[in-house]
């Protein structure tokens, strides 16, 4: 006889992170140093031309270098040095972001060992086929391989025969093994994972060089990161602004020549020589006018957005998917396992008239000790927690005869040595048992059972026989428990302007009860794959972006239709191919986090763009007066910072322009903190913090740099 001592469920074990997983946070100086060689390699014009803003800065730095060689001076070489540093710092931002992804890819590469596959030729169900050894990279789509305990799965595929325990820690970082079996929604396996027990036959679904790990490595390294539509649009805007400022600065030379001709008494200065405006000063002005800050950080922001998803074990197939997550209007969430815990749990003991709750709880616990189902264990724990009843082991009850739960009887219970018999189970089963023992079933029981069912719960009835008299004690209310904190999270979604829809196969009555408790905006009951598709299309027809999760083959059409389709890693290959994200932890609630990360990406880009544009305004007040005050004395009114000299003013602005890029790298990688609020509030916050900050910071920074420059003789 098995011992059935039941205690409270232990706290969930923290999930192990994958080895060498790089966490988000402040910038590591070691990472800066390690990324410097990559930043220098990115100085190649064939690489840098993809970033028009920084490409113009590099051309300006090269031209200034030539001018400094022709007409050398300490000022010229200092400006040249800081112009080149501006380009290097911009490349460094992208290199650091990519470097973080490369560090994460180190672990993934370890899974790509020189595995030999056991390919089966001529295999079909019932026919073992002929086995041959072949290198894993040579496997073709459709090949059949066999993998046994202790062997590495050679490629992505679906289990077509057998069942096995698989260690996926190399991919997910989760140390607990998972079960993979043929048929159903848990048949997909990933190359590089290890079979721990039994034997499975796998049909390879990948093409050579396009395995899950290959794609994951390329994506986290940023090698295959495609620019998103919003990012492309912003790049076009930055390029347009850069071209406008190039023409604006180019007109300064003839303007200066004309002004100097009409004012022959004006002496030559740093900015004005016999030909007009010096080339190095023109380049300095151009670099400080164009939006170099956001131009330098734009790629890093996009890479970091995907990096934050990888840190949460989510693989985004494209940057477009991450960005779309930030614009999602409707969230489709499965009920079981997402909104609720999935297993029904005891929520209340409802006694009949004349029966005390304590007596019902004691009988319910005793009759459930032999019930190893999750529902039975929850009854024992609930009685212990709510009524202080100790979870008794069957061995402690002398001569007790235990009746284990079975699907046939739909009851469990115990026959005690004093003649008392207890049963707990489905209402009809227990009612029939009470009648068979000569007892009567009161009409009150039917009312209680119907009331619990109407509320979306599951009623279990407790009956007893004591001193040869059979009776019903009451009803146990089982309910699908909503996960803690879900209502608060849905409230956050609502504040973001996102509509949440619960999808379930339950009847409308049960679905409404769960939806009301969880706080979702709407629900779809008795949902079929066709219903999901129709709901997504209706939402999209109204101009909304839709996100959903799924793991089965029947979810694949809806995942493909959704703007953000998150497939579970435990799901089928069809689901993973249809979605544009894969959750390696197979946690459906992570869809909410994905939306928050997408919004954080958009907010970070908007905040730094606001800062960059506002940042340029202050730099005008440093350079313009310094350049033209000798020609136009009235411009001295704009010299609000009262900088030491024209030379120090221009140099201070150029130095600040370079340093601010490095200072903002941590923010671009970590992201601006997102708090759910309306679009108007987010805009107000951006303008007040990053807009105003972008104006104030240069005034303070340039002035401090000017004070430092004054400390050096000859400057």
- Whether the pLDDT of residue 128 is over 70: the answer is yes
Of residues 629 and 435, the one with the higher pLDDT is 435
Compare 171 and 314 and report the one with higher pLDDT.
Answer: 314
Tell me: is residue 102 an annotated ligand-binding position: no
Is 151 a known ligand-binding residue?
no
Q: How many other CB atoms are found less than 10 A from the CB of residue 469? A: 11
Going 688 to 690 to 695 to 700, the CA torsion angle's sign is positive
- Would the pLDDT of 106 be above 70? no
| CATH number of the domain bearing residue 173 | 2.70.150.10
> Do 247 and 296 share a structural domain?
yes
User: Does the pLDDT of residue 460 top 80, yes or no?
Assistant: yes
Over residues 550-590, the pLDDT tens digits come to 777 777 888 888 888 888 776 777 777 788 888 877 776 78
> Does 655 share its domain with 530?
no
Q: How confident is the model at residue 62 (pLDDT cuts 50, 70, 90)?
A: very high
Q: Using the 3D structure, point to which of 535, 551, 584 is the last residue of a domain.
A: 584
**By percentage, how much of the chain surpasses pLDDT 90?**
4
Q: Does residue 679 contact residue 497 with C-beta atoms inside 8 Å?
A: yes
The C-alpha atoms of residue 343 and residue 335 are separated, in whole angstroms, by 12
Average pLDDT over residues 392-415: 73
pLDDT at res. 72: 85
Query: Any idea which of 276-285, 438-447, 457-466 has the lowest mean pLDDT?
Result: 276-285
- Comparing 115-119, 181-185, 423-427, 432-436, the range with the smallest average pLDDT is 181-185
Give mean pLDDT, residues 475-489. 82
When comparing pLDDT for 258 and 505, which is higher? Answer: 505
450 is in an annotated binding site: no
CA atoms within 13 A on the CB side of 370: 23
- 407 annotated ligand-binding residue: yes
Q: Is the pLDDT of residue 176 over 80?
A: no
Region 508-522: mean pLDDT is: 84
Instruction: Let me know whether 231 and 92 are in one domain.
Output: yes
**Residue 5 pLDDT class (50, 70, 90 cuts):** very low
The answer to whether position 566 is within a domain reads: yes
Has 398 been labeled as part of a binding site? no
What domain count does the chain have? 4
Residues 228, 94 within the same domain: yes
Domain hosting 431: range is: 341-481
Q: Does residue 216 lie within any of the structural domains?
A: no
Q: Is 123 inside any structural domain?
A: yes
Kindly report the CA angle at 527 between 589 and 312, in degrees rounded to 5?
15
Q: What is the reported pLDDT for 246? A: 80
From 464, 481, 498, the end of a domain falls on 481
For range 103-132, the mean pLDDT = 72
Please tell me whether residue 500 adopts helix, strand or coil conformation. strand
Nearest to 235, CA basis, from 153, 152, 297: 297
* Predicted local distance difference test score (pLDDT) of residue 65: 92
Ranges 109-118, 151-160, 338-347, 570-579: which has the least confidence: 109-118
**Domain assignment of residue 18, yes or no:** no
Query: What pLDDT is attached to residue 475?
Result: 92
Banded pLDDT at 1 (limits 50, 70, 90) = very low
pLDDT at 165 over 50: yes
Looking at the domain assignment, is residue 214 inside a domain? no
**669 assigned to some structural domain:** yes
The answer to whether the annotation marks 405 as part of a ligand binding site is yes
* 165 annotated as ligand-binding: no
Q: Which of 552, 584, 616 is the last residue of a domain?
A: 584
Q: DSSP secondary structure string, 350-369?
A: EEPTT--HHHHHHHHHHHHT
Which pLDDT score is estimated for 617? 77
CA distance 477 to 383: 12
The answer on pLDDT for 198 being more than 90 is no
Contact 704, 660 (CB under 8 A): no
pLDDT for 22 equals: 39
- The confidence score (pLDDT) of residue 463 equals 92
Domain co-membership, 475 together with 487: no
Supply the pLDDT for residue 122: 84
Domain membership of residue 294 (yes or no) is yes
Q: Are residues 180 and 323 in the same domain?
A: no
Q: Is 517 helix (H, G, I), strand (E, B) or coil?
A: helix
pLDDT number for residue 223: 43
Q: Examine the domain organization and report whether 471 and 511 are in the same domain.
A: no
Residues 375, 477 within the same domain: yes
Smallest CA-to-CA distance from 570 within 239, 225, 189 is with: 189
For the chain, the straight-line distance linking the first and the last C-alpha, in angstroms and rounded, comes to: 92
Per DSSP, 525 falls in state -
For residue 370, give the CATH number of its domain: 3.40.1110.10
Banded pLDDT at 15 (limits 50, 70, 90)? very low
Residues 322 and 296 in one domain: no
CA distance 672 to 300: 13
307 is catalytic: no
For 321-344, the pLDDT digits (tens) are 788 888 888 988 877 666 777 667
- Residue 411 annotated in ligand binding: yes
What is the distance between the alpha carbons of residues 502 and 484, in angstroms, rounded to a whole number?
16
Which candidate in 167, 307, 334, 587 is catalytic? 334
Determine the average pLDDT of the residues in 683-694. Answer: 83
| DSSP H/E element including 635 | none
Residues 237 and 89 in one domain: yes
Residue 106 inside a domain? The answer is: no
Both 265 and 303 in one domain: the answer is yes
Q: What is the mean pLDDT of residues 157-161?
A: 87
715 is in an annotated binding site: no
Do both 333 and 348 map to the same domain? no
What is the residue-averaged pLDDT of the chain? Answer: 78
In angstroms, the CA 65 to CA 164 distance is 66
Q: Which of 60-69, 73-82, 144-153, 482-491 has the lowest mean pLDDT?
A: 482-491
Which single residue is written with the structure tokens 């560090």?
103
Highest mean pLDDT among 19-23, 259-263, 371-375, 604-608: 604-608
| Residue 410 in marked binding region | yes
């Amino acid at each position: 006889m098995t011992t059935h001592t039941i205690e409270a469920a232990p706290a969930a074990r923290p999930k192990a992170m994958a080895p060498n997983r790089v966490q988000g946070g402040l910038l590591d100086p070691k990472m800066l140093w390690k990324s410097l060689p990559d930043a220098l390699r990115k100085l190649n014009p064939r690489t840098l031309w993809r970033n028009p803003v920084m490409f113009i800065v590099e051309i300006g730095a090269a031209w200034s270098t030539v001018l400094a060689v022709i007409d050398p001076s300490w000022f010229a070489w200092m400006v040249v040095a800081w112009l080149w540093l501006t380009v290097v710092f911009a490349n460094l931002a992208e290199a650091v972001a990519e470097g973080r992804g490369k560090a994460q890819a180190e672990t993934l590469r370890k899974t790509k060992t020189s595995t030999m596959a056991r390919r089966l030729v001529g295999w079909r169900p019932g026919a073992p086929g002929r086995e041959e050894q072949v290198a894993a990279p040579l496997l073709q789509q459709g090949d059949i391989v066999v993998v046994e305990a202790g062997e590495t799965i050679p490629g992505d595929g679906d289990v077509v025969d057998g069942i096995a325990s698989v260690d996926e820690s190399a991919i997910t970082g989760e140390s607990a093994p998972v079960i993979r079996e043929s048929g159903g929604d848990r048949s997909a396996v990933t190359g590089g994972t290890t079979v721990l027990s039994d034997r499975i036959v796998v049909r390879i679904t990948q093409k050579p060089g396009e395995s899950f790990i290959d794609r994951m490595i390329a994506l986290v390294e940023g090698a295959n990161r495609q620019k998103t539509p919003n990012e492309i649009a912003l790049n076009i805007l930055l390029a347009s602004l850069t071209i406008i400022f190039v023409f604006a600065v180019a007109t300064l030379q003839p303007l200066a020549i004309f002004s100097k001709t009409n004012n022959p008494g004006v002496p030559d200065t740093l900015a004005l020589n016999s030909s007009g405006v010096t080339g190095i000063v023109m380049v300095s002005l151009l670099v400080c006018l164009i939006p170099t800050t956001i131009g330098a950080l734009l790629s890093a922001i996009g890479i970091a957005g995907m990096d934050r998803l990888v840190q949460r074990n989510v693989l985004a197939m494209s940057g477009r998917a991450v960005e779309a997550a930030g614009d999602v209007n409707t969230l489709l969430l499965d009920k079981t396992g997402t909104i609720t815990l999935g297993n029904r749990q005891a929520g209340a003991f409802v006694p009949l008239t004349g029966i005390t709750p304590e007596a019902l709880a004691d009988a319910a616990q005793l009759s459930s000790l032999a019930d190893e189902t999750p529902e039975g264990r929850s009854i024992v724990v609930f009685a212990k927690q709510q009524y202080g009843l100790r979870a008794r082991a069957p061995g402690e009850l002398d001569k007790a005869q235990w009746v284990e739960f079975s699907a046939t009887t739909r009851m469990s219970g115990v026959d005690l040595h004093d003649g008392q018999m207890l049963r707990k189970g489905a209402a009809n089963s227990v009612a029939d048992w009470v009648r068979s023992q000569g007892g009567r079933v009161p009409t009150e029981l039917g009312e209680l059972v119907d009331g619990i069912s109407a509320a979306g719960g599951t009623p279990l009835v407790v009956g007893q026989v004591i001193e040869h008299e059979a009776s019903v004690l009451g009803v146990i209310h089982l309910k699908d428990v909503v996960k803690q904190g879900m209502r608060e999270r849905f409230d956050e979604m609502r504040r973001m302007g996102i509509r949440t829809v619960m999808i379930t196969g339950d009847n409308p009555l049960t679905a409404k009860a769960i939806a009301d408790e969880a706080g979702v905006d709407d629900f779809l009951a008795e949902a079929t794959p066709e219903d999901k598709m129709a709901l997504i299309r209706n939402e999209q027809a109204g101009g909304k972006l839709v996100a959903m999760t799924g793991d089965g083959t029947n979810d694949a059409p809806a995942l493909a239709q959704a703007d953000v389709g998150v497939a579970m890693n435990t799901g089928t290959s069809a689901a993973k191919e249809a979605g544009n994200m894969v959750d390696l932890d197979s946690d459906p609630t992570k869809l909410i986090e994905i939306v928050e990360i997408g919004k954080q990406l958009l907010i970070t880009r908007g905040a730094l763009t606001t800062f960059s544009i506002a940042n340029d305004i202050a730099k005008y007040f440093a350079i313009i007066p310094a350049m033209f005050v000798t020609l136009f004395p009235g411009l001295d009114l704009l010299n609000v910072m009262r900088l030491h000299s024209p030379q120090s003013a221009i140099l201070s602005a150029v130095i600040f322009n370079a340093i601010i890029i490095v200072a903002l790298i941590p923010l671009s990688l970590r992201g601006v903190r997102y708090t759910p609020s309306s679009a108007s509030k987010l805009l107000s916050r951006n303008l007040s913090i990053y807009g105003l900050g972008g104006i104030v910071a240069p005034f303070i920074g340039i002035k401090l740099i000017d004070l430092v420059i004054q400390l050096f003789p000859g400057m």
